[in-house]
Structure 1
Amino acid sequence: MSAQNVATPGYTFGQKGDANGTKTATDTQDSAFSPLYPFHKPGLAAELISTANSLVNPRGRGIYATDETPEGIAARLNACNPSSASWSDSDAEAKERRRAWRECLYSSMPKEHISGVILYTETLLDFKLAPVLAERGIIPGVRADTDSHPLPGSPAGEPATQGLDDLLPRMQRARAAGARFSKWRAPILCNASTLPTTAALEAQAESLARFAAISQQAGLVPIVEPDVDFAEDASLQRSVEIHQRIIGMIYARCNAYGVRLAHQAVLRATWPEAQL
C-alpha cells in the first residue's frame, strides 16, 4: 500500500493570535466555521505527528494490509492446501490456525520494507499480536470500517461504509491493545457519466471525516482511503475529475470536524487511471 502524508491547511487548536495578540491569517480562516469536534488534547499532536512520520519515512517502506476477515483468511489458507476442504476443524481449531499463521507472518516479514501493518480486530484483540510487530520496529494498526451496505436510493446500489456507531470505544480498545493507527476504506463506484452520484460522494466523504476525527480522539493516526473503482468506460479525464471531487470533499468535511490534517493523518488514494 502506498501512502501519502497529508499536509494541508486546517483548523488550528490553541491560542489565537500571535505573541502580540494580533489576529493572524489562521485565525481569520478559523472564524469561517466552528469545528464540530474541538476535543483534541494538547499533548496528543506530538504523538500523532511522530506516528504519521514513521509510517511514511524513510521512503521506500510501505504499509502492509493483513485485515482480511476470518472468512477471507480461511479461504486463502484453504487455497494453499486443496486437501483442506475435507478438514473438519472445530471453531477453536480454525481460530488457532489463523492465529498461528498471523504470528508466523508477523515474525518473519521484512521490517526494512514495511513501516506499518493493518490488523483485523480479531488479530489485535483476541490474538494480541501487536507486540510481535512493535518489537520488530513495525507500527501496528487496525481496520476501523466493518462492512458496506447499499446506499438508500442509489440506482446502482452504491456502497456506504459502515462502522461509525461504536467506533470510539472500538478504537480506544485498539489503542490499549497496541495499535497506533487505523484505516477506513470507502469504496466509490465510477463510470463515464452516471456514477458516482453526489449522494454517494457526500456519504463516503462524511464517513471518512467522522472516522478520522474519532480516530484522532482515540489517539490513532487515521489512514483515509477513498477507493475509487472505475468501470471500463471511464476515461483518464473522468478519473482525475472524480479524484479531485472526492478528495476536496473529504478535506472540507475533515476541516469541519476539526481533524488535524497537517502531518497527523495519511491519505491513501487510488491512482487516477483510465478503465481500472
Structure 2
Amino acid sequence: MNIRELKSVANAIVARQKGVLAADESSPTIKKRFDSIKIESTEENRRRYREILFTTEGIERYIGGIILFDETLRQRTRDGTLFAKLLSSRGIAPGIKVDKGAKALALYPGDKVAEGLDGLRERLAEYKQLGAKFAKWRAVIEINEHDIPSAFGIRANAHALARYAALCQEIDLVPIVEPEVLMDGTHDIDRCEVVTSRVLEAVFAELDAHRVVFDGMLLKPNMVIPGMKCPQQAGVQQVAEATLRCLRRYVPAAVPGIVFLSGGQSAEDATDHLNAMNAMGPQPWQVSFSYGRALQAPVLAAWKGQESNVAAAQKALLKRCQLNGLARDGKYARAMEAGE
C-alpha cells in the first residue's frame, strides 16, 4: 500500500472549492433520467451525454473527481480518447462505482445489503489498469420511525464497506465509503440523526478493524435531514447543525474529506445545506460534495437529447459547479441562482 499516493489523490479530490461529480448511474437509473427528457437509453446516447459532461470547459476548477459506471470507464470521446485519460489530462481523478446494487438482506425484512464483494479484487485491478484513481461503494440504509434499520443490518453494511475499502487500499485506489441513510419516508430529523450516528459508529469501527488508513479514504454520507414525507421539515441551519454534530462525534479527524451525497434533495437545497455547514467555520475535514442529480438535473433539462442544446447544457453544469464551489467556502447565496 502506497499511503503517500492514497493521501495525495484523496486530498486532490477535495482541494479548495472542489468536489465530486457522481456520473455513475446504473443502466436502469440512467434510463429513468433519459425517460424524463424523452430520449432512448442507447449506449451511444449514454456515451454522448457523459461526453458532454466531461468536456465542459472550466469544471476542473470545481470538480476534483468524477465517478463513472463500468460501461463509461470503457468508453471514449468522439475523437477516440478514453474518458479516464481525458479526465486525468484535465486534472480530474476518474473513479469507478464497484458495488452491484442493494438487495434484500436475508431474514431481515426491510434491511438491504449491497452485493459485489465476490471477485472485487480482480475487478479493481482491471479498473486501475483502465485508469481509475478511486472507487465508490454505496450501502443503502432503509429507515423508518421504529425498527429499521436493524442493528445487524447496520453491521452487515458496515462490514461490506470495510472489506471493499481494504481491497481498494491494497491496490492503491482511494475508497469512497458511502453509507446512505435514505431520505424516503416519514421519519423526522431526530430519527435520522440517531440512525446516521449508529451507522457511522459501526462503519468506522469496521474500517479500523480492517486496517483501512483513514488518511487515504473519503466518506460520502447523507446529510441529517427529515424524510421527504415528514410533516415537519427542517430549516437549512437545523440540517447543517445536526449533520456536523453527528459527524464530529463519529468521523476521525484523519479523514481528508466528507463528500456529501444529495440523496434526492433539489439542486438548490443541496447547495444551501453545504454552504451552511462551511459557513459554520473550519471543520476537522474538508466539507465537500459528491452530487449526482443535484449537479446533473439542470444539465438534462437543458440538453433534452439535442445537439443544438449542448452549449446550454454545459453552461448549466458549469454554473452548478461554480455555485457548489462557492458553497465550499460558505459564500453561496440563493440569490445567485437567478444570475447568469
* Band of TM-score, shorter chain: 0.7 to 0.9
> Aligned equivalents of 2:55 and 2:182: distance in 1?
33
Partner of 2:10: 52
Matched, 1:106 2:54: yes
Q: What is the Cα deviation at residue 96 of structure 1? A: 2.6
User: For structure 1, which runs of at least 5 residues remain unmatched after alignment?
Assistant: 1-40
Contact 2:143 2:185 in 1 (8 A): no
**Cα deviation per residue 1:206-256 (whole Å; 9 max; x = unaligned)?**
111111001111211001111001454423222221111111111111111
Contact 1:74 1:98 in 2 (8 A): no
Contact 1:103 1:132 in 2 (8 A): no
> Aligned equivalents of 2:225 and 2:30: distance in 1?
29
Partner of 2:221: 269
Contact 1:140 1:181 in 2 (8 A): yes
Higher mean C-alpha deviation, range 65-74 or range 163-172: 65-74
What is the Cα-based RMSD across aligned positions, in Å? Answer: 1.8
Equivalent position amino acid for 2:219 in 1: L
> Aligned equivalents of 2:151 and 2:160: distance in 1?
14
> Aligned equivalents of 1:273 and 1:71: distance in 2?
26
**Cα deviation per residue 1:117-174 (whole Å; 9 max; x = unaligned)?**
0000111135431011111111100001111210011122x21100100111111111
Give SS of 1:47's match: helix
User: For structure 2, which runs of at least 5 residues remain unmatched after alignment?
Assistant: 77-81, 229-340
Q: Which has the higher contact order (CA 8 A, sep 6+)?
A: 1
| Alignment counterpart, residue 116 of structure 1, candidates 65, 72, 76 | 65
Partner of 1:141: 95
**Cα deviation per residue 1:57-91 (whole Å; 9 max; x = unaligned)?**
11x221000011234334433433x3x56xxx9xx
TM-score normalised by structure 2 residue count: 0.62
Equivalent position amino acid for 2:85 in 1: P
Structure (1/2) with the larger helix percentage: 2
TM-score normalised by structure 1 residue count: 0.75
Partner of 1:179: 132
> Aligned equivalents of 2:226 and 2:31: distance in 1?
33
Structure 1's 123 and 46: CA in aligned 2 closer, same or farther, altered over 3 A?
A: same
| Alignment counterpart, residue 151 of structure 1, candidates 105, 110, 113 | 105
Largest Rg, 1 or 2? 1
Partner of 1:63: 20
Contact 2:113 2:153 in 1 (8 A): yes
Higher mean C-alpha deviation, range 61-70 or range 105-114: 105-114
Which runs of structure 1 show a deviation greater than 6 angstroms over 4 or more consecutive aligned residues? none
Q: How many residues align?
A: 222
Structure 1's 101 and 275: CA in aligned 2 closer, same or farther, altered over 3 A?
A: closer
